[in-house]
């Protein structure tokens, strides 16, 4: 009976040790994964003091039956400085029902934004300089994904400081067909 | 126990400990990525990508256009050009290839060709899309036959997967000048 | 339990004198070794043009040192041409170690900046060096104003490599130590 009690104590202490030792690694992991996703069915949602609005969603496909598509997404951010600091950075991504994730393109591939945007301008990648309480600040992203994935997409927006919480906006992109050269 | 028994226990224990200490793998050999081998047809499936090796080529000079200027890179050894067809699986991914030469040396992609079009170092692979790219290594000729190609995700976690592809059985055909088109 | 009785005064005295002589000898020898070390510092070996010098991950053989006009009016640069060969088993991006490790040029009282390392084949910065492929590289130093033509000395250093370091027993490149000094007078280049 005495041995069983000691075994019980050992098991409890083992569990406590594992939790204490793994706690910082668990925290790091939670800053990378989006576990608590809030689905927003409107065009605007709020997370940690920043209001995120999805303004334009436009896809471009080629008329030669190619399996690729480019998707342009314009969002705007509005909020307090404290909220911006709590987000740390901004990571928009496209996700489908199967859990596949597409990250925005960087570099010269962003040139397609100027073709797909309604005002023909690239407002830059999501960030927090210039985000204030009064006026929304616009940001643009472009994604490259299979044409077959255009249905059932949702835009996930989160920051390092907000994860594991994230906002999810279901997308219905307006598809524009371009002539293949 | 008697003295002899104690002595034997100590000697056997010491021998066992010594054997274990001298055969334990050190950090360098145990912290290596897990090897996954591609199939006979040249298709390998890693955790985050599926890649098919289409073929090997060799060249003495590689030329391409950069910002409107003609650029050509020559070498005192040879350029090994590997044609790959890669499909992303779950996440947008960048990949790093390594040539494991026949002598055991590891060659990374040639940094002189980082700005060339369609090169693996500048490509990001999206889930659901198959892209064709080229990985170019600058290696001495005797590292080609008997070598292997390894592909691993960039931002490389030490204990991730590396997919091994068999190298060419015979020396690939050589072109004097190979032009890379976007 | 003492086997010998040290009750005899003569024996006690002998033992103590021997101990004192031993301690004094140890102190004297150690002090003398320190003085000798200070008198003959370990100077890195002299390197002449054409002789190889280790720079850690690679071996460099200097061939020619010239002084050349720079791109702007009145600017000069010192150019050291040589062959560089990667002697490790994998491609190296930081051939001279990171950070620092580049050869240091000293001449007169002027302080020279860090050199730029160029691959002659591409006429561009050296970004990566492959094992077993020897390349001709140039080190280019911008000459600050007010330097008159005189002898220069270039110090090469290498990083120490340890297969099992003291922290994780993994292979690492550690501190820099000098491996050679090249003293030469730059020739007039085109």
Q: Which chain A residue's Cα is nearest to B131?
A: A68
Domain co-membership, C76 together with C162: yes
Number of domains making up chain B: 2
For residue B32, the model assigns a pLDDT of: 84
Question: What pLDDT, on a 0 to 100 scale, did the predictor assign at position B7?
Answer: 95
C160 and C68 co-located in one domain:
yes
Q: What is the pTM of this model?
A: 0.82
C20 with C100, same domain: the answer is no
B74 CB near a chain C CB, below 8 Å? yes
Q: What is the mean pLDDT of residues C20-43?
A: 91
d(CA A142, CA C130): 37
Predicted pLDDT of residue C6: 61
> Residue A105's pLDDT is what?
92
Question: Do both B2 and B85 map to the same domain?
Answer: no
Measured between beta carbons, the chain A residues lying within 8 angstroms of B129 are 67-68, 144-146
Alpha helix stretches (DSSP H) within chain C: 9-39
CA distance to B40, C114, C145, per residue, from C77 (Å): 56, 12, 11
Q: Return mean pLDDT, chain C.
A: 89
**Claim to verify: residue B119 and residue B140 sit in the same structural domain:** yes
Q: So what's the pLDDT on residue C1?
A: 53
pLDDT for res B138: 94
Residues C113 and C53 in one domain: yes
pLDDT of residue C2 exceeding 60: no
What is d(CA A85, CA A162) in angstroms, rounded to the nearest whole number? 10
Which pLDDT score, from 0 to 100, does residue C5 have? 65
How far apart CA C172 and CA C162 sit, in angstroms, is 6
Residue A141 lies in a domain: yes
Mean pLDDT of chain A: 89
Question: CB-CB: which of B27, B111, B140 is closest to C170?
Answer: B27
What was the ipTM of the complex prediction?
Answer: 0.81
> A touches which chains (3+ CB pairs under 8 A)?
B
State the CATH number of the domain containing residue B77. 2.60.40.1240
Phi, psi dihedral angles at A84 (to 5 degrees):
-60, -40
User: Does C79 share its domain with C126?
Assistant: yes
- What's the structural domain count of chain C? 2
C123 touches chain B (CB under 8 A): no
Place of tokens 């005797």: B142
Q: Sign of torsion, CA B12 B16 B21 B23?
A: positive
Q: Residue C41 has what pLDDT?
A: 73
Read off the tokens for C162. 């340890």
Of the listed ranges A152-156, B37-41, B139-143, C136-140, the one predicted with least confidence: B37-41
Judged against a pLDDT cut of 80, whether residue C45 lies above it is answered with yes
Does residue A173 lie in a domain region?
Answer: yes
Q: Say whether both B49 and B6 belong to one domain.
A: no
CA distances to B9, C26, C38 from B13, rounded to whole Å, are 6, 41, 49
**Owning domain of residue B147:** 32-179
* Residue A146: predicted pLDDT: 92
pLDDT of residue A24: 93
Q: Is the pLDDT score of B161 beyond 80?
A: yes
pLDDT at B115 over 90: no
Look at residue C148 and tell me if it is in a domain. yes
Residue appearing with tokens 């000697």: B11
Q: How many CA atoms lie within 13 A of C156 on its CB side?
A: 27
Closest CA to A26 of A162, A164, A161: A164
Residues B151 and B128 placed together within one structural domain of the fold: yes
Residue C48 to residues A147, C64, C154, C155, Cα–Cα distance (Å): 65, 10, 11, 12
Give the residue from chain B lying closest to A144, CA to CA: B126
Q: What does the alpha-carbon distance between residue A73 and residue A43 come to, in Å, rounded to a whole number?
A: 12
Shortest CB distance from B107 goes to which of C130, C134, C171?
C130
Based on the domain organization, do C149 and C91 belong to the same domain?
yes
Residue C134 within any structural domain of the chain: yes
Q: In chain B, which residues have their Cβ closer than 8 Å to the Cβ of C132?
A: 77, 105, 140, 143
pLDDT of residue C30: 96
Indicate the helix (H) or strand (E) that contains B15. Answer: helix B3-23
Residues of chain C found within 8 Å of residue B75, distances taken between Cβ atoms = 121, 133
On whether any CB of chain B is under 8 Å from the CB of C12, the answer is no
Q: Hey, CA dihedral for A131, A41, A92, A109, is it positive or negative?
A: negative
| pLDDT of res. C10 | 86
A19, part of any domain: no
Q: Are residues B144 and B114 in the same domain?
A: yes
Domain check: are B147 and B169 in the same one? yes
Q: Is the pLDDT of residue C190 over 70?
A: no
- For residues C83 and C120, membership in a common domain is answered with yes
Answer yes or no: do C68 and C118 share one domain.
yes
Looking at residue A54, which CATH number applies to its domain?
2.60.40.1240
* Chain segment A118-159, per-residue pLDDT in tens: 888 888 898 888 888 888 899 999 999 998 888 889 999 999
Do C16 and C56 sit in the same domain of this protein? Answer: no
Same domain flag for C34 and C58 = no
Same domain, C53 and C37: no
Question: What's the pLDDT band for C79 if we cut at 50, 70, 90?
Answer: very high
**Residue A24 vs residue B31, higher pLDDT:** A24
Same domain, B9 and B93: no
Domain that holds residue C13: 7-41
- Kindly state whether A103 is in contact with chain B, defined as any CB-CB distance less than 8 angstroms: yes
Q: Note down the domain range covering A52.
A: 35-178
- pLDDT, one tens digit per residue, over B9-38 is 999 999 999 999 999 888 888 888 888 998
- Whether C92 maps to a domain, the answer reads yes
Angle at C123 between CA C120 and CA C128, to 5 degrees: 70
C74 shares a domain with C131: yes
Task: Name the nearest CA neighbour of A101 among A27, A49, A37, A24.
Answer: A37
Instruction: Assess contact for A113 and A140: CB atoms under 8 A.
Output: yes
């Amino acid at each position: 009976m005495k041995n069983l009690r000691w075994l019980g104590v050992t098991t409890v202490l083992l569990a406590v040790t594992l939790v204490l030792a793994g706690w910082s690694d668990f925290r790091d992991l939670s800053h990378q994964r989006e576990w608590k996703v809030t689905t927003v069915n409107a065009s605007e949602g709020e997370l940690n003091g920043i209001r995120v609005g999805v303004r334009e969603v436009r896809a471009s496909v080629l008329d030669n039956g190619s399996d690729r598509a480019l998707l342009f997404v314009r969002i705007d951010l509005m909020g307090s400085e404290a909220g911006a600091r709590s987000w740390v950075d901004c990571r928009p991504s496209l996700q489908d029902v199967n859990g596949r994730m597409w990250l925005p393109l960087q570099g010269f591939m962003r040139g397609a934004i100027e073709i797909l945007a309604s005002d023909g301008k690239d407002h830059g990648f999501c960030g927090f300089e210039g985000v204030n309480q009064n006026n929304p600040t616009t940001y643009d992203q472009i994604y490259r994904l299979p044409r077959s994935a255009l249905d059932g997409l949702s835009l996930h927006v989160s920051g390092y400081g907000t994860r594991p919480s994230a906002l999810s906006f279901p997308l219905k992109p307006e598809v524009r067909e371009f002539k293949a050269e | 126990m008697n003295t002899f028994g104690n002595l034997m226990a100590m000697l056997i224990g010491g021998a066992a400990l010594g054997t274990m200490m001298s055969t334990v793998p050190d950090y360098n050999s145990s912290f290596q990525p897990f090897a996954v081998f591609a199939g006979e047809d040249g298709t390998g499936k890693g955790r985050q990508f599926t890649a098919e090796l289409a073929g090997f080529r060799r060249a003495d000079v590689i030329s391409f256009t950069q910002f409107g200027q003609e650029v050509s890179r020559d070498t005192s050894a040879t350029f090994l050009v590997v044609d790959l067809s890669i499909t992303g699986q779950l996440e947008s991914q960048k990949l790093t290839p390594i040539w494991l030469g026949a002598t055991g040396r590891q060659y990374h992609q040639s940094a002189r060709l980082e700005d060339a079009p369609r090169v693996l170092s500048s490509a990001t692979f999206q889930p659901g899309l198959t892209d064709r790219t080229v990985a170019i290594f600058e290696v001495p000729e005797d590292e080609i036959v008997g070598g292997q190609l390894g592909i691993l995700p960039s931002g490389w976690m030490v204990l991730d997967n590396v997919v091994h592809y068999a190298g060419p059985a015979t020396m690939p055909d050589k072109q004097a000048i190979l032009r890379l088109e976007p | 339990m003492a086997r010998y009785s040290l009750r005899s005064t003569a024996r006690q005295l002998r033992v103590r004198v021997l101990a004192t002589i031993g301690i004094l000898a140890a102190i004297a020898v150690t002090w003398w070794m320190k003085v000798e070390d200070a008198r003959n510092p370990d100077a890195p070996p002299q390197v002449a043009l054409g002789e190889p010098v280790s720079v850690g991950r690679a071996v460099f053989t200097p061939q020619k040192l010239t002084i050349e006009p720079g791109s702007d009016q009145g600017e000069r640069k010192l150019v050291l041409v040589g062959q560089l060969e990667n002697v490790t088993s994998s491609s190296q991006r930081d051939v001279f170690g990171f950070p620092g490790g580049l050869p240091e040029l000293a001449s007169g009282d002027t302080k020279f900046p860090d050199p730029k390392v160029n691959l002659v084949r591409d006429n561009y910065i050296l970004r990566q060096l492959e094992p077993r492929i020897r390349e001709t590289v140039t080190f280019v130093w911008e000459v600050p104003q007010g330097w008159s033509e005189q002898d220069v000395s270039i110090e090469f250093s290498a990083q120490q490599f340890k297969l099992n370091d003291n922290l994780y027993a993994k292979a690492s490149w550690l501190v820099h130590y000098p491996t050679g000094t090249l003293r030469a007078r730059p020739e007039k280049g085109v």
